[in-house]
Structure 1
Amino acid sequence: MPTALGLTNQKSSSPPGSGPHVSSSTTMGSNARLDTISKRNHAAAREMETLLWRALCDEPETVREYLAHDCVMINPLLAPGGTCQPLSKDSQPSVTDVLARAGGKNKFTGFRFHGDPLVVEVDLMAVALVYKISLFRYSRRSGGVREIVATASSTWRQTAGADWLLVAFHVAYADDEEDEEE
């Protein structure tokens, strides 16, 4: 029955979470309710990680938009000579220098997460992820697509303006245990 405000106090016949929701507490493309800070943080972490890799594949220099001023990184896939040298704003080369040079011949054409990234809340406004990823690069030599399997972890913090910024990023080549077992 409608109330004075036009709301109803009748029980819904559909189970909670089964119908479409029109609010900021839902994730894009899903009917899952993001009704807690924790759920929103987990969803945002996965979305930001996807945006990060999409930017790395499309235009690596644009990743700078996602970086905190104090971001640290180890990424042999992007670093000159494939080094595992820790990078920061003060290192030579710096994080932004490496990203500026990351396009061109080393550009990735796509990526695929192996399952869902695991997310843990570091704080109310910070999250960390770990996952395995496949990156794809066109090989001029073989004329085909080359797959690079890596493990990655990243840490994101949310600003007062609700933006998420990358503060730590670590990528390493994965030992492919599946190949060793065969």
Structure 2
Amino acid sequence: MTDTGGALLAEPTPDLAAYRAAMGRFPTGVTLLTQGSGDDTVVTTVNSLTSVSLNPTLLLVSVRTDARILPRVRRGGGFAVNVLSEAQRPLAEEFCRHERPEGQAAMLRTGAVEGDLGHAVIPSAEASFECELYDEHEAGDHVLLIGRVIALHDCAGAPDPLLFHRGGYARIGPAQPESASQGRAA
């Protein structure tokens, strides 16, 4: 057993509900992962986006091993990640359902356009990253997709980002004065 100062870790597998609740305390952004455009558009909601490297520019998204978008990403060799704003919460909710629009219906619903690499890009998103599939790694019931960012679309002056925290959507509080926010994360 290892004493971590707050809990003893003795079991090889922690209680899944407790693990999920603890991980839910870490706020994340919410994105729409897209592959293809036009009649071939597939879209799914993802909240696992991580910057991996600056040189080369790499990011990581995590999708379930049974996700409908996964074979498309593998076959097409790329994807786009669209960072949603608070105003786009209905899109996040709609595209996490099993029954969700695909093809032209998905393009219309999201207001997407075809990006430089042929994937749906949402101009009203906080930011969009168009990626070539750089690598992938199976990790339990998910696959980690590492994308090399080829094109970046930044919507300067966009509203606040959509956040997910403790199992629900959340907001960023009012900005703190400059002196209170000078610290940097480690």
TM-score normalised by L of structure 1: 0.25
Larger % of strand: which? 2
Greater Rg by CA = 1
TM-score normalised by L of structure 2: 0.25
